[in-house]
A = this chain, B = another copy of it.
């Protein structure tokens, strides 16, 4: 009998138990082995949800329902399912004494049977699995009608010297000791996207495939959970060959015949230190070279980033019930790129509106560029000048507080008035306000709290300004030039005072961005930045701005995460601190 594998790269909402159960009932059939991504039965990540009584009760009913359905089937059915989910052990009080992240075997006529418990529980950056789950301690060699499969879950493939645990190496040793005829490695994942992740996963899988001398099947879920994006992008590598590559950010189902996979295994496996737990835990600390410049994205990477941002936006909107979007357009690049992405992301029945709120300092060029852009992409543009409001606030305010009203005070009030007006419009129409900040700006606090930093979701909060330029040029080249060239060419400015330019307050972005990347991803301090050739003055300015602006990031909206290190849930630096100890 041939061994058919069906890869279900699914896309379900967290805890959508009914839909998940129906999906299983409709799809488990034939003579195949059906594969599902990590925690298919619940969705991922659940965080504290997996401790809530209502969740535990509903999940228990859900599992029972599937189990009963399986028991009602004929034992003669040849198909099997590898169905990941949670396994609870409860105290009599209802307290979870133990929660495991497992794979169940779905057996017709028998039910759900626990096969394997995840051994390496990720607990760095955004991951909290050791908070909730208890690790397993055995390998799993699963026999499907005579084909032996080395089964494991997500992080198990990465190994950790920090945790002194490499589950794939333990599988390998057992395979060698017992001389097991393993025909395939299967990894069931819920692995978040970042712009380098596809490559890293495939490199690691290829190394393991060459080591085991059999194909490596990698199945990942699709979904967007606030800031965290799951891209799918499942694949099979057979040594040096790529046997299957599945869609990104889209549900996909593929069938393959195990025996027909053509592999080439006459190569030495290469395990790059970057592709390990530590590479993910302390991003890029192992990298030998110290780049003084940011690596520029390829067109493929730009396309991946664009798709991820569109997908993340739609996932948030879908689950929160938004059909309308609202973007404050300024005539600058960040808001223009955000508007272009939202427009490209729109589904039928959705709409986006742009609002332009010029102040006394806004150049007439800004007006022209906003109008030009909205004409190009056919988005309604509304003009709401804040000049009069700005002066009225100033007059009213100084009647009570005659102290000086200039500099930052005067700049911030314009930005906060815009925030207020934007949300007033959002209250009127029910539109979702899309934030327009970028990562450079967030890192140095170059924005006004409750002003231009408002929004339900940030699309560009994980892109440095130089990456905003790169993506804008890509979008223009690939998608019919939605952004007027004038927007890309003009010098960046907040337009909160006369002739203001970002460069008056910040190092040029070509210098600033690599310093920030050093600080965030390489965990560099003064010494290492100095070693890269940056001047004492640039370094101290950047570090000071960065360290002082933690309080702004702490109240920022969720940022779609497209890097190993973003300013989101996985970024954990104290807010209040004495700066002198932190260089």
Contacts and interface: CB of A to CB of B under 8 A. Distances in A.
Contacts of A400: 382-384
A375 to B, nearest CB: 18
A428 B393 CA distance: 14
Contacts of A131: 123-124, 130
Given A53-B523, A423-B416, A429-B403, A93 B285 contact: yes
A492 interface: no
Nearest to A418: B420
A47 B572 contact: yes
Interface in A351-390: 382-384, 388-389
A575 interface: yes
Contacts of A527: 53-54, 57
A555 interface: yes
A582 interface: yes
A165 to B, nearest CB: 11
A250 interface: no
Interface stretch (A32-40, A95-103, A205-213, A258-266): A95-103
A396 B401 contact: no
A14 interface: yes
Number of copies: 2
A382 B401 contact: yes
A320 interface: yes
B409 A428 contact: yes
A397 B412 contact: no
Nearest to A396: B389
A51 B282 contact: yes
B423 A449 contact: yes
A48 B578 contact: no
B393 A574 contact: no
A556 interface: yes
Contacts of A574: 14, 45-47, 49, 225-226
A98 B162 contact: yes
A401 B428 contact: yes
A179 interface: no
B54 A526 contact: yes
Contacts of A577: 13-15, 319
Given A48-B572, A95-B286, A319-B578, A54 B423 contact: no
Contacts of A110: none
Contacts of A469: none
Interface string A30-73: 00000000000000011111011111011000000000000000
A54 B401 CA distance: 43
B53 A96 contact: no
A551 interface: yes
A136 to B, nearest CB: 14
A523 B52 contact: yes
A454 to B, nearest CB: 6
Nearest to A133: B162
Q: How large is the interface on A (under 10, 10 to 19, 20 to 34, 35 or more residues)?
A: 35 or more
Contacts of A51: 282, 523
Contact of A320 (B17, B286, B405, B576): B576
Contacts of A558: 554, 575
A282 B95 contact: yes
Nearest to A228: B574
A55 B397 CA distance: 44
Interface string A104-135: 00000000000000000001100010110010
Contact of A578 (B13, B45, B47, B528): B13
A581 B15 contact: yes
Interface string A566-583: 000001111111100111
Contacts of A554: 557-558
Contacts of A49: 573-574, 582
A16 interface: yes
A191 to B, nearest CB: 18
B16 A581 contact: yes
A555 B123 CA distance: 24
Given A401-B382, A425-B401, A525-B53, A393 B420 contact: yes
A495 interface: no
A163 B396 CA distance: 61
Given A523-B51, A572-B47, A576-B319, A396 B420 contact: no
B576 A450 contact: no
A142 to B, nearest CB: 27
Contact of A397 (B96, B130, B226, B421): B421
30 contacts: A14-B577, A47-B572, A47-B574, A49-B582, A51-B282, A51-B523, A52-B525, A53-B523, A53-B528, A54-B526, A54-B583, A91-B286, A95-B278, A95-B282, A97-B278, A98-B162, A124-B131, A128-B572, A130-B130, A225-B576, A319-B576, A319-B577, A388-B392, A389-B393, A389-B396, A397-B421, A401-B428, A413-B427, A450-B450, A554-B558
Given A401-B425, A405-B428, A416-B419, 15 more contacts: A14-B577, A49-B573, A53-B527, A53-B528, A55-B582, A95-B278, A226-B576, A384-B400, A403-B429, A412-B427, A413-B420, A413-B424, A420-B450, A450-B450, A456-B551
